[in-house]
A and B are shown apart, each in its own frame.
Chain A
Amino acid sequence: MVDEKQFLQNFADQFDDEPEGLSLETLFRDIDGWSSIVALSIMAMCAEEYDVILSANEMENANRVSDIYNIVNERIEQ
C-alpha cells in the first residue's frame, strides 16, 4: 500500500505552485496551474517513485487524485 501522505506530496510537487489542501478527493483538473506538462510530470513521477507506468488514456480518464492513487496501488500489488 502506497503511503497516502507521501503520494499527495509527490502529486502536489508536480505543480509550479503547490496546491493547498490536496486530498484524494480533489478534482485535480480544477487546480490553478493544471496543464498538459503537469499531467506528463505526474506520469513521470509515478514511474520514478513507484515504478508504475500510467498510460495517457488512464491519465485522460482520471479526475480525482484517488483515480491515480488507486491505479498506482493496484499495479504495486500485482
Chain B
Amino acid sequence: MYNPYSLEGKTILITGAASGIGKATSIESSKLGAKIVAVDLNGEGLEKLMPQLEGDGHLQFTGNLCDEEFLKNLGEESPALDGVFLCAGVSDTTPVKFITEEKLKRVFDVNLTAPILMLKQLLVKKKINKGGSLVWMSSYGAEKVEPGLGIYAASKSAVNGIMRAYAKELVSRKIRSNSIMPMMIRTELLSTLNSISDKDLEKQEAMYPLGFGSPLDVAYAAIYLFSDASRWITGTQIRMDGGSNL
C-alpha cells in the first residue's frame, strides 16, 4: 500500500521511551514498521514498553543519559540509526529570584547537554545513516514563557539553537534536524508536576480551542519528521499549540 509516512526498514532511537511522549512515539513508530532502540533511566518502564511494540528486533538500553560511560556504551552498542528522538527531559518551576546553580545544572544537563553528548557518540561512531532524521523535543515555552518556567524555557531555547547547528553541519550527509515545540501536553510528567493546581489546569485548557495535546499528537509529528515524507524539511521548529495562539 502506498504510504509515504511508513517507517518500514528504519531503526529509530528514542530517549525517554518509558513514559509519555517517548513511549507513545515508540509504540506508534513500531506500528508503522520501525525497529525501536528504546532508552530510559527507568528499566521497569522499558520492560513494560517492550511487549507493546509491534514487530521484532527492538532493543532497550537502561541508563542515565547524564552518565558519560553509559553514553559511550550506547554509542558502541547501538545499531545504525535512521532516526533519533531526543525526547527525555525534565521540567522546573523556579521563579528567577530562586534560581540556583544546582537547579540550572539539573535542567540543562538533562535537556541540553545529554542529547548533545549522546549525538556526539553516535556521530563519531558513524551510527547515524545518511538521510537520517534527528528530532529534538523543544517546547513552545521557549517562545512564550510563563512565570516560574525560566530555566526550562532557557534550556528549550538552547535546544532550538543547537538543533539548527546539526541541520547545518550534517546536511551534506542528508541528515536532517528539526524540533517540535508543543504547548500543554497531558503526560505523566504534567500530572506529577506539583506546581500547577487542578484549577489552574482547567483554566488553561479553556484557552486551547483543540484542548490540551496528548502524547499521541506529538508522536505523530515526530513520525512525520522520521518519515521520508519530510525529506525536504530541516532546521525547522514545529509549533503545536492546539489553536491557543489563534
| Residue pair A60, B147 in contact (C-beta under 8 Å) | no
Chain B at the A interface: SS class:
loop
- Nearest CB of chain B from residue A16's CB, rounded to whole Å: 11
**Is B113 close to A, CB under 8 A?**
no
| Contact of B194 with A56 in the complex, beta carbons under 8 Å | yes
Instruction: Assess the A57–B197 pair: CB atoms within 8 A.
Output: yes
Q: How many residues on chain A are close to B (CB under 8 Å)?
A: 16
- The answer to whether A37 and B95 touch across the interface, beta carbons within 8 angstroms, is yes
**When A36-B147, A40-B147, A40-B148 are in contact, do A56 and B95 touch as well, CB less than 8 Å?**
no
Interface string of A41-78 (1 = CB under 8 A from B): 10111011000011111011000000000000000000
Q: Which residue of chain B is the closest to A56 with respect to CB atoms?
A: B197
The DSSP consensus for interface residues of chain A is: helix
Residues of B within 8 A of A41 (CB): 95, 97-98
Report the minimum CB–CB distance from B11 to chain A (whole Å).
Answer: 41
Complex Cα–Cα for A54 and B148 (A): 15
B44 interface contact, C-beta 8 A: no
Can you name the residue of chain B whose Cβ is closest to the Cβ of A48?
B98
Interface residue count on the B side (C-beta < 8 Å): 14
Within the assembled complex, what's the spacing in Å between the Cα atoms of A43 and B196?
11
Which residues of the partner chain B approach A40 to less than 8 Å between Cβ atoms?
Answer: 93, 95, 147-148, 195
Contact of A56 among B94, B97, B196 (CB under 8 A): B196
B195 x A60 contact (CB < 8 A):
no
- Asked whether any CB of chain A lies closer than 8 Å to the CB of B144, the reply is no
A48 to B199 CA separation, bound complex (whole angstroms): 25
Interface residues of A (CB under 8 A from B): 36-37, 40-41, 43-45, 47-48, 53-57, 59-60
Question: With contacts A40-B95, A44-B98 known, what are 8 further pairs, Cβ within 8 A?
Answer: A36-B147, A40-B93, A40-B148, A47-B98, A56-B195, A56-B196, A60-B197, A60-B198
6 closest Cβ pairs, A-B complex:
A56-B197, A60-B197, A44-B98, A55-B194, A40-B148, A37-B147
